[in-house]
With several copies, the nearest count.
Chain A
Amino acid sequence: MADILSLAADNLLSPVILSFILGVSAALARSDLSVPEAVAKGLSIYLLFAIGFKGGASVASHGVDATLVATLAAGLVLSAGLPMIAFNLLKIMTKMSRTDAAAVAGHYGSISIVTFVAATSVLQGRGISSEGYMVAVAAVMEAPAILSALWLISTGGTEKRMDGALLREILLNGSIVLLIGAFVIGVVTGEEGLASISSFIVAPFTGVLCLFLLDMGLVAGRGLRDVRGVLGGGAIAFGMLMPVIGSLAGLAAALLIGLSTGGAVLLMVLSASASYIAVPAAMRVALPEANPSIYLTLSLGITFPFNLTVGIPLYVTLARLVTGG
């Protein structure tokens, strides 16, 4: 317990998290501080490229673990399965319509890459290493949850929601392509490649993450301003309970597969985090009648800050306890 608290304090008092809190506070205080859309997109391209590349380079130097395939499969199952849990939980905890509940459920099966990035930087600060291929697992977990959400809706008996164009958009969305592409470049060019660009993708990484989280804080804070009108108490509770449930499912899978402590933390974080980029976009196309304020506010306004501040330290502590790492 003391361990969690000290880790949580450590985590909370890092420049990365404080930048996020600064953003949230500025938005709540209605400051006009803002990061231009193009800059925010530029920062996210940098983060995806760097995290993918470093994962790939790490695979190149440590070799591929026998657990790679099992972990990818676990990611698939978690992403497809967690929406079912989320959906039923929402039915119990809230009064959301079927459509809204399915849309929200889809978000919780998918992942937030920034939460993942923040977790890797916590692990790095603690000197805990993890499997480099976890970024590939992150990519694999983006999409299946969307199919689950649409399946959940279709069981209510509505027309076909998914067409070829949408499937292609989901699988080839910019984040996935960049993450996987950079991962492959990292695998191919290995240590040498990493050395040639490490003063770009390694050294300034944490600093760039601060600015990105400042912007995420501004966005999350703007969402929080309207939380009252949009989410009831049950939904808010769901937004903090579901990540913990997800993380436990991730932990169980990690134990089954035999991941390292760091790998277990990352699989927990992936399972615990909720999408706010790929899934909302897909939902607007396929489920336009679902209310975007609900799923965006839950995912960005509640779960994202929860994971960043309380979740990650909690998952690290749990993983260490259980894996003995």
Chain B
Amino acid sequence: MQTHKAKRVVITIEAIMQKRLTDTIEEAGVTGYSILPVLGGSGRSGAWTREGQVGRASGMVQVVCIIRPERLDDLLDAAFDVVETHIGVVTITDVEVLRAERF
């Protein structure tokens, strides 16, 4: 089956920043993304779990974007502006996609 090269960018970020991030990457021309829940984790700022969150302040989500390789830099620049001052992790992986016309 015919596949096409693309990049999978995963941004792990505080839930409270989600809308700011997706608004920003949409402005940067990203047309598709999915949001995955994160149950908990650990990092430089300590461990946390979703159970027992009373507010929206501390949960995290993953924003996953599949994009054409040539659009990667625009996305990273945009994402970096939002992520820079906040906790969060950004990873990029090479992937193949079906139906490239959709990206």
Contact = CB atoms under 8 A, between A and B. Distances in A.
Contact of A288 (B51, B53, B85): B85
B58 A296 contact: yes
A176 interface: no
A219 B57 CA distance: 14
Interface stretch (A28-36, A67-75, A121-129, A131-139): A28-36
B52 interface: yes
A253 B15 CA distance: 38
Interface in A218-246: 218-219, 222, 226
Contacts of B50: 37
A89 B9 CA distance: 45
Interface string A266-297: 00000000001110110111001101110010
B69 to A, nearest CB: 29
Contacts of B87: 288
A283 B57 contact: yes
Interface residues on B, range: 10 to 19
Contact of B46 (A44, A281, A293, A300): A293
A278 B55 CA distance: 7
A303 to B, nearest CB: 14
Contact of A296 (B14, B16, B17, B57): B57
B20 interface: yes
A226 B45 CA distance: 13
A10 B55 CA distance: 30
A283 B16 CA distance: 10
Interface in B54-73: 54-58
A105 B44 CA distance: 25
A288 B57 contact: no
B74 to A, nearest CB: 22
A219 B58 contact: no
Interface string A38-58: 001000100000000000000
B37 to A, nearest CB: 10
B54 A219 contact: yes
B53 A37 contact: yes
Contacts of A292: 45, 57-58
Contacts of A281: 16, 55-57
B58 A32 contact: no
Given A284-B16, A293-B46, A32 B57 contact: no
A35 B45 contact: no
Contacts of B5: none
A216 interface: yes
A291 B46 CA distance: 11
Interface of A: 32, 34-37, 40, 44, 165, 215-216, 218-219, 222, 226, 276-278, 280-281, 283-285, 288-289, 291-293, 296, 300
Interface of B: 14, 16-17, 20, 45-46, 50-58, 85-87
30 contacts: A32-B56, A35-B51, A35-B52, A36-B51, A37-B51, A37-B53, A40-B54, A165-B20, A216-B54, A219-B52, A219-B54, A276-B54, A278-B55, A280-B55, A280-B57, A280-B58, A281-B16, A281-B55, A281-B56, A284-B14, A284-B57, A284-B58, A284-B86, A285-B17, A285-B20, A288-B85, A288-B87, A289-B85, A292-B57, A296-B58
